[in-house]
Structure 1
């Protein structure tokens, strides 16, 4: 097995920044065990018959999360599939900002605009067991995946999902607003596994990447309850522009950085 993983890692070097990790995770997936079992030698020596096909898919640029159907995020593991954006560790910055604001008490009501797989909403509900929330997405396929994730995580009784175009038709106020909108410029060049496999509708937002923020700013202002906070993901160079859009709606803003030190989240509060 170690030779098969070594060979796979060599093959994946051109397609992945983490070829050895990808090779190990694909082996674990093929065997139906954890990566830890692979590392500790508790998975035996046999190489599954379908391992080579899995490696070929990854070498061809297919994202690892779509191949395994799983992605860890915050304290939960999500099912993902083509049609939803793959959750990134950078997006955990939004949950970190919310935790810093609410502490252990948490929000009562949460909304996740553009929920996709349900990552942000379900991470928040897992963090605060007394909270309830709403996930909104315009993609019916994404909502099917998010609803299934909520059920699998035991959160279906606290998470509702509805199809919609951002917050159109939502008239409630929320203590916590979470949103990871499309924010990539329409002519940007992306890595192959992103450009060829993840949904363009979840990535691109006009010539300057700000189209959706322009729509979201007035909606967030009306949705945010007094004392609450909105946590909105941004591109690393968009902090000033997005803060300006939010402040024009009378909101107070601040910036939060991700683990790499890049601007990643604009927080908004009522003045």
Structure 2
């Protein structure tokens, strides 16, 4: 079977399974099965696939039919131009989180704290873009911290430290930038999530339960003492949470509070500064 024939059959198969964007997923999985870069796939589609590649491709498609995310199947996800290792122990990096990264990079910083670091994609991206900065990523999950440490090693970033902590509980010192993409999905919204998210990503990274604001309450209470004077705090939010999160940060004594939209025009980040 040629790559072209395999790709056509796979697209039909994934569509029949109700997979969103079946052609894209089929291409990514075919490239992985053939052991080539996705952007080189078109150069190899006319070639005959080996028996091993066909068998590998069939196994990958079976996993995708069960709604396992492509990033879990191939083991990585692109974020801000870099590949990050991901597993079921961490939140899958998403394009909208790049909004937070862009805002953080808009002003200088030398020491950054990432609360709930997960894969480390936010912290490690910020450090990769700012060669003189150092940072600390904290997470309650030891399994997530293992993934973040692996990503730091792969990217060659030795300026990142990682620590198990319940938000700021074990954190010491002050930072001129604190960032976080905390769990913010309300309990009653969880059943409506796509199966790729609801069934495959860690619930503790998706939802704190209740109204979805508990993580922001914790951050508003613990982060200000760890901000240096004029230090910035930036948190990712759900698109309906801007006003509520801004109010929490205002009560915590922070200033210059603003709500920022993502590339699709939805509220995505709340920023604030310490006086």
Question: Would you call these one fold, judging by a TM-score over 0.5?
Answer: yes
List structure 1 segments (4+ residues) > 4 angstroms apart after TM superposition: none
Q: Does 1:63 align with 2:66?
A: no
1:93 and 2:93 correspond: no
Cα displacement (A) at 1:43: 8.1
Structure 1 or 2: larger helix share?
2
Distance 2:230 2:35 in 1: 46
Q: How many residues align?
A: 266
- Show the counterpart of 1:138: 140
The correspondence for 2:268, drawn from 260, 264, 268, is 264
Check 1:191–1:170 CA distance in 2 against 1; reply closer, same or farther (3 A cut): same
Q: How does 1:151-162 map to 2 (within 5 A)?
A: 151-155=153-157, 157-162=158-163
CA distance in 1, matches of 2:117, 2:170: 16
**2:4 and 2:45 in contact (8 A); partners too:** no
More displaced 10-residue stretch of structure 1: 131-140 or 30-39: 30-39
3-state SS of 2:187 partner: coil
> How far did residue 195 of structure 1 move?
0.9
Find the partner of 1:195 among 195, 198, 209: 198
Query: d(CA) in 2 for partners of 1:16 and 1:223?
Result: 44
Deviations 1:105-155 (A, max 9, x none): x31101110000101000000110111100000101001110011011000
Residue in 2 aligned with 1:29? 32
- Indicate the RMSD between aligned Cα atoms, in angstroms: 1.4
- Aligned partner of 1:124 in structure 2 is 126
**For the Cα contact (< 8 Å) 2:4–2:46, is it kept in 1?**
no
The range that moved more, 118-127 or 165-174, is 165-174
- CA–CA distance in 2 between the matches of 1:236 and 1:175? 26
CA distance in 2, matches of 1:38, 1:45: 13
Determine the C-alpha separation between the residues in 2 that align with 1:261 and 1:6: 35
Is contact 1:75-1:123 (8 Å) kept?
A: no
Structure 1 partner of 2:86: 80
Structure 1 gap ranges (5+): none
The one of 231, 234, 237 equivalent to 1:234 is: 237
- TM-score (norm: length of structure 2): 0.93
Gaps of 5+ in 2: none
Deviation at 1:228, TM superposition (A): 2.4
Counterpart contact for 1:229–1:267, Cα < 8 Å: yes
The answer for the alignment partner of 1:46 in structure 2 is: 49
